[in-house]
Amino acid sequence: MYSHTEVETMENEPNEPSSKCWCDVGHTMKHHACHGSGGALYFVGFLGALYYYLTTATSFLAGVIGVVKALLWPAFLVYGLLKYLGM
């Protein structure tokens, strides 16, 4: 843990704008971690898309294109949604 003088030093340090947490304005990144489950969700989606595209590929080129599609699937999803909504 921190000593008494280290805690006083941390409390007296000015809060820099770059140290602010984007998910909670009142806390700084020094002692607070944002909830970062979006990366894990994207990774699971990437693995699922990669499996789908590679198992349905009929050639090497289709497999390479499938890997690119698996990386960019959120962009395809948002594009399809906006196209469906007519925006």
Query: Would you tell me how many other CB atoms lie within 10 Å of the CB of residue 73?
Result: 18
Q: What local confidence, expressed as pLDDT, does residue 6 receive?
A: 58
Q: What local confidence, expressed as pLDDT, does residue 41 receive?
A: 83
Q: What local confidence, expressed as pLDDT, does residue 14 receive?
A: 56
pTM beyond cutoff 0.85: no
Q: What local confidence, expressed as pLDDT, does residue 65 receive?
A: 95
Using CA atoms, how far apart are residues 64 and 21, in angstroms rounded to an integer? 38
Using CA atoms, how far apart are residues 86 and 84, in angstroms rounded to an integer? 5
pLDDT block averages, 10 residues each, the chain of length 87:
58 55 56 68 89 94 94 90 90
Rg for the chain, CA atoms, rounded: 22
Q: What local confidence, expressed as pLDDT, does residue 56 receive?
A: 94
Cα–Cα distance list, 51 to 57, 67, 72, 82 (Å): 10, 9, 14, 26
